[in-house]
């Protein structure tokens, strides 16, 4: 199918935008660390069910050990390291500004993919990335009404966490691309990534004696519902689509198209949270969409 990779990356952006709104609703009461543990656990269960339905197996035993190791490391870097910081950024700065920082992931991805995957972006790809990032930045650099202080850190911590989250996402993306070169399909690859990350994140919780506290948050019905819905949209459907995109197009290009996610998040927030769409939002959308078109036609 023509443009399969680009369309999958665009679908990833929609899923992650939906998931970020749902996770933002859950994180207020759960906290960023507990949210990350619980949503990965739910995602693993959903992905395992999907794998069993499509292949009759609960684990991709046909995956080669090099692929499993690359995906395990990808899960640790992307989910345990990257998403832990990414969720802290959302909690401290709010979804808008945190999304702006997350949109720097394509630059980290391109920088890592150049030496590791030998994917050198062409002039049109660089132009598309620049337009996509510029549009996103134009929207989210408006003054924020959110108070700068939060229990999980101040503004500086939020910015540092957002950049570290973007770096983790980029590292996980590139390692996933290496694993997919072995011929493994996106769904079993996602199962491996999420499973390894889930096991490690709960081992860390046990070491810190935080298992009981984390599980007690499931009693909060509203937050738990938002968390489960976000897990279905983000780590399950969104990550699977992102790996599908990596099968067909360069890692930097896939990450750049996915970086439109903050704009979709803004549109969703305007519809369901009554956040106004300003003229800057529309101009930013136009710039970002132009960047996506350039990436499609590169």
The predicted structure's pLDDT at residue 140:
64
Q: Which of 138, 147, 161, 194 is nearest to 88 (CA)?
A: 161
Q: What is the mean pLDDT of residues 18-34?
A: 84
DSSP per-residue string spanning 42-67: HHHHHHHHHHHHHHS-SS-TTS-HHH
**What's the full length of the chain, in residues?**
298
d(CA 84, CA 170): 14
- The domain containing residue 180 runs over which residues? 4-296
| Count of structural domains within the chain | 1
Q: Spell out the residues 6+ positions from residue 40 whose beta carbon is closer than 8 angstroms to its own.
A: 79, 194, 197, 198, 201, 231, 235
Lowest mean pLDDT segment, chosen from 3-7, 170-174, 204-208, 254-258: 254-258
Tokens of 70: 């690359």
Quick one: pLDDT at residue 60? 96
Phi, psi of 207 (to 5 degrees): -65, -30
pLDDT tens per residue across span 199-257: 999 999 999 999 999 999 998 888 899 999 999 998 889 888 988 998 888 877 887 78
Distance CA(279)–CA(49), nearest Å, equals 44
Predicted confidence (pLDDT) per residue in 58-109, tens digit: 999 999 999 999 999 999 999 999 999 998 888 887 776 777 778 777 778 8
Tell me if residue 276 falls in helix, strand or coil: coil
Its sign, for the CA torsion 97, 98, 103, 104, is: positive
| Distance in angstroms (rounded) separating the CA atoms of residues 1 and 181 | 19
Residue 121 above 80 pLDDT?
no
Please work out, in degrees rounded to the nearest 5, the angle formed at the alpha carbon of residue 175 by the alpha carbons of 205 and 42: 40
Looking at the chain, the number of H-run helices and the number of E-run strands are: 15, 0
Q: What percentage of the chain exceeds 70 in pLDDT? A: 92
Q: Which range (112-121, 259-268, 272-281) has the least confidence?
A: 272-281
Name the pTM for this structure: 0.80
Predicted confidence band of residue 142 (pLDDT cuts 50, 70, 90): low
């Amino acid at each position: 199918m023509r443009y399969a990779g680009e369309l999958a990356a665009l679908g990833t952006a929609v899923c992650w935008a939906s998931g970020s709104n749902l996770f933002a609703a859950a994180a207020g009461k759960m906290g960023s660390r507990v949210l990350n543990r619980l949503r990965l656990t739910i995602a693993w269960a959903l992905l395992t069910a999907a794998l069993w339905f499509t292949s009759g197996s609960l684990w991709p035993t046909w995956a080669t050990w090099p692929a499993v190791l690359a995906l395990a490391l990808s899960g640790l870097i992307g989910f345990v390291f990257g998403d832990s910081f990414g969720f802290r950024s959302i909690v401290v700065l709010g979804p808008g500004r945190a999304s702006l920082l997350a949109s720097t992931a394509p630059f980290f991805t391109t920088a890592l993919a150049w030496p590791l995957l030998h994917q050198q972006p062409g002039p049109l790809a660089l132009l598309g990335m620049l337009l996509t990032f510029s549009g996103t930045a134009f929207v989210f650099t408006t003054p924020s009404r959110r108070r700068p202080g939060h229990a999980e850190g101040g503004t500086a911590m939020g910015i540092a966490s957002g950049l570290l989250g973007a770096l983790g996402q980029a590292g996980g993306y590139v390692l996933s691309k290496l694993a997919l070169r072995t011929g493994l399909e996106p769904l079993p690859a996602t199962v491996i990534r999420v499973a390894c990350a889930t096991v490690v994140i709960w081992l860390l919780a046990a070491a810190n004696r935080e298992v009981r506290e984390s599980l007690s948050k499931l009693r909060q019905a509203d937050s738990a519902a938002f968390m489960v819905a976000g897990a279905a949209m983000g780590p399950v459907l969104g990550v699977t689509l992102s790996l599908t995109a990596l099968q067909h197009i360069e890692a930097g290009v896939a990450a750049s198209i996915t970086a439109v996610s903050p704009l979709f998040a803004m549109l969703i927030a305007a519809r369901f949270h009554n956040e106004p769409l300003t003229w800057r939002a529309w101009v930013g959308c136009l710039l970002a969409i132009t960047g996506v078109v350039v990436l499609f036609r590169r």
